[in-house]
Amino acid sequence: MTTQPFQSRNGETLLKPVLTEEEYRSFQNEYAGFCLACGETAYNVEPDARRYVCETCSKPKVYGFEELLLMNLIVLQ
Ligand SMILES: [Zn+2]
């Protein structure tokens, strides 16, 4: 997995994950989440989680991978 910066609606620069379908499936199965603020992977996150607080940067920007896909914030390679 790599990351790609993008601008959010309120002008913040955030990161979205760039990953293969295989990586996406394993993250989904492992209950992993992704922090849009710092790009860290989080664990014990439901696939449809939204706005969980990130353990790394303390911002409420952790989303489950299914939710990220619905929000069109995953780049599949
Ligand atoms: Zn973070």
The count of domains in the chain is 1
Cα gap 14→48, rounded to integer Å: 19
In this prediction the pTM is 0.93
pLDDT in tens, 12-54: 999 999 999 999 999 999 999 999 999 999 999 999 999 999 9
For ligand 1, the distance from its centroid to the CA atom of residue 36, given in whole angstroms, is 7
Domain that holds residue 55: 2-76
For ligand 1, the distance from its centroid to the CA atom of residue 9, given in whole angstroms, is 18
**CA distances (Å), 73 to each of 8, 57, in order?**
11, 19
Amino acid at 25: R
